[in-house]
Structure 1
Amino acid sequence: MRNIPVAEVDHLDRDVLAIATDYPSGYLLDWHDHRRVQLLYAATGTMRVETADGTWMVPGERAVMIPPRTRHRVLMLDVRTASLYVEPAAVPWWPGECAVVQVSGLLRELLLGAVEMEAEYAAAGRDAALVALVLHELSALSGLPLHVALPRHGVFAGLCRDYLADPALAVSNADWARAAAMSERAFTRAFRQETGTSPASWRTRARLLSAVPRLREESVTAVAASLGYASPAGFSYAFSRAFSVSPSSLRR
């Protein structure tokens, strides 16, 4: 199935529905949710997935696991997706919050094959066997911490969302405290209590996360300099430490 809303086929008696969708660059798929769990795979491009709890960056050839009834929106940057919509009962082990995952070569080919199937594929035979193998491969996915958590406090969440949209180096704790009508000390203490990290550390992680889509087009050296790192090695170390993957590995 290609370029159709899942709502048109959600009623079908199939555990797995596979849909491929092409998006124009910069397209924002606004807030929505699904009854089924979703594996949203970026065959090309980069996706930024947001929920009330955080933001996840999904580089090309990776995917994000989205729980059922989780409100989310997705910014598509030159993206062609292959999505699986799965009945929750078929994957009781599905995570309770979004997770970016590596996609093996086998699963990638299975996803590309699954989107070629009819909506009401045969309950036995090749297509059923492909679906069974897809479910088996899903259970072995490994995660990548390519996300940053968002605070629930309204003022804090607003400041963090604004920063994610424009992660400027010049923003300081004092700037955020003024915007929240709090003293810098009280703001920093309250922010840490809610998020478990300091505002400065949160901004550093958010700034590193913003590098993910840029690494497709720009060199590690250029991205490192724009984010204020004295050397590409320093940037690579910080990025790898934060996200358990090197920035150079996201350039393909």
Structure 2
Amino acid sequence: MRDVSWQDIDAATVPVVSRANDYPEETVGPPHNHSRAQLLHGATGVMIVSTVHGTWVVPPAQGVWIPPRVVHQVSMLGKVSTRNIYIDRDHLLGLPEECRVVAITPLMRSLLFETADLPFDYPPDSRAAAIMTLLLHELRAMETLPLGLPFPEHARLAARCRAFLEQPSVHAAIDAWAASLSMSRRAFTRLFRHETGLSFRAWCQQACLFTALPRLNAGESVTAIALDLGYETPAAFTSMFKRALGVPPSRYMKA
């Protein structure tokens, strides 16, 4: 395992450097940022990455992309083993400018694990450099997963969104939210989309999916989660889950 300091990472002269860590259950890191972009891959366990602009839930075996100088905090649900790479600003062309959860392909996963055994400072014509270059190519092809939850900057609306995460429900009523902010339905709808980039209904569904994944990872049943979220049947929840992530909950967690 390679646990190097942030100072060494920021001072490195090579385009891509790697870091690997094991974290005990319920570890919560301090808010921090890096001069380089970061791909954070959780080989095991669930991670939650939070910034002032939103929150992202990272399922087992997937990753999160974090651009340079974005202040973020990482919370670990269960034991988490991570593999990270940090990319300097001169090699970010074609890569995202905002945080997002990304699918880690089998090839990318193998490359990430290989980086933990590579020299930290490697020659440009070495095997290590070739592996890092291939990782950069793979990064530009990575698929975004719908597991981000954007938060508004509007203070009262943000407070309402955070309260919803404490008790999410698919039956959230737009009129009730608008009334709580003393706004008309039309004005609220415009504000919500402007602040989050999503419709109210899409955001609520995303929030329900967001809160379901850590519970699935903890071993809770699909039936219990579905009923808690307000779905009429487990099948309705499974249908929503499959539309969002391509497979039903049981297959997703097994994968």
Normalised-by-shorter TM-score class: 0.7 to 0.9
Question: Is 1:224 the equivalent of 2:226?
Answer: yes
For 2:109, what is the secondary structure of its paired residue? helix
Residue 179 and residue 31 in structure 1: after superposition, are their counterparts in 2 closer, same or farther (change >3 A)?
A: farther
- CA–CA separation in structure 2 for the residues paired with 1:229 and 1:54: 25
Is the CA contact 2:175–2:185 (under 8 Å) kept in the aligned structure 1?
Answer: no
Q: Deviations over 1:17-36 (max 9, x none)?
A: 11011222222223221111
- CA–CA separation in structure 2 for the residues paired with 1:179 and 1:116: 54
Match of 1:247 in 2: 249
TM-score, with normalisation over the residues of structure 2? 0.85
What's the offset of the Cα at 1:88? 2.0
Match of 2:21 in 1: 21
Comparing 95-104 and 127-136, the one that deviates more: 127-136
Is the CA contact 1:167–1:206 (under 8 Å) kept in the aligned structure 2?
Answer: no
Question: Is 1:202 the equivalent of 2:203?
Answer: yes
What's the offset of the Cα at 1:201? 5.0
Question: Is 1:140 the equivalent of 2:137?
Answer: no
What's the offset of the Cα at 1:204? 3.4
Residue 236 and residue 119 in structure 1: after superposition, are their counterparts in 2 closer, same or farther (change >3 A)?
A: same
What is the aligned length? 250
Is the CA contact 1:41–1:63 (under 8 Å) kept in the aligned structure 2?
Answer: yes
Q: Deviations over 1:12-59 (max 9, x none)?
A: 211111101122222222322111111010111111112222221111
- CA–CA separation in structure 2 for the residues paired with 1:129 and 1:96: 25
Match of 1:71 in 2: 71
What's the offset of the Cα at 1:82? 0.5
Letter in 2 for 1:117: L
What's the offset of the Cα at 1:61? 0.8
Letter in 2 for 1:82: R
Match of 2:132 in 1: 131
Match of 2:237 in 1: 235
Q: Deviations over 1:189-223 (max 9, x none)?
A: 44355445565653332122111112222232332
Match of 1:38 in 2: 38
Residue 208 and residue 68 in structure 1: after superposition, are their counterparts in 2 closer, same or farther (change >3 A)?
A: same
What's the offset of the Cα at 1:153? 0.5
For 1:160, what is the secondary structure of its paired residue? helix
Residue 221 and residue 138 in structure 1: after superposition, are their counterparts in 2 closer, same or farther (change >3 A)?
A: same
RMSD over equivalenced CA pairs, Å: 2.6
- CA–CA separation in structure 2 for the residues paired with 1:96 and 1:9: 20
Residue 151 and residue 173 in structure 1: after superposition, are their counterparts in 2 closer, same or farther (change >3 A)?
A: same
Residue 136 and residue 195 in structure 1: after superposition, are their counterparts in 2 closer, same or farther (change >3 A)?
A: closer
Match of 2:50 in 1: 50
Residue 146 and residue 244 in structure 1: after superposition, are their counterparts in 2 closer, same or farther (change >3 A)?
A: farther
Comparing 202-211 and 97-106, the one that deviates more: 202-211
Is the CA contact 2:65–2:101 (under 8 Å) kept in the aligned structure 1?
Answer: yes
Comparing 186-195 and 3-12, the one that deviates more: 186-195
- CA–CA separation in structure 1 for the residues paired with 2:48 and 2:216: 14
Is the CA contact 2:38–2:85 (under 8 Å) kept in the aligned structure 1?
Answer: yes
**Identity across the alignment (%):** 40
Is the CA contact 1:41–1:62 (under 8 Å) kept in the aligned structure 2?
Answer: yes
1:177-188 residue pairs with structure 2 within 5 A? Answer: 180=181, 182=182, 185=185, 188=188
Is the CA contact 2:49–2:55 (under 8 Å) kept in the aligned structure 1?
Answer: yes
Question: Is 1:92 the equivalent of 2:89?
Answer: no
Q: Which runs of 5+ in 1 are unaligned?
A: none
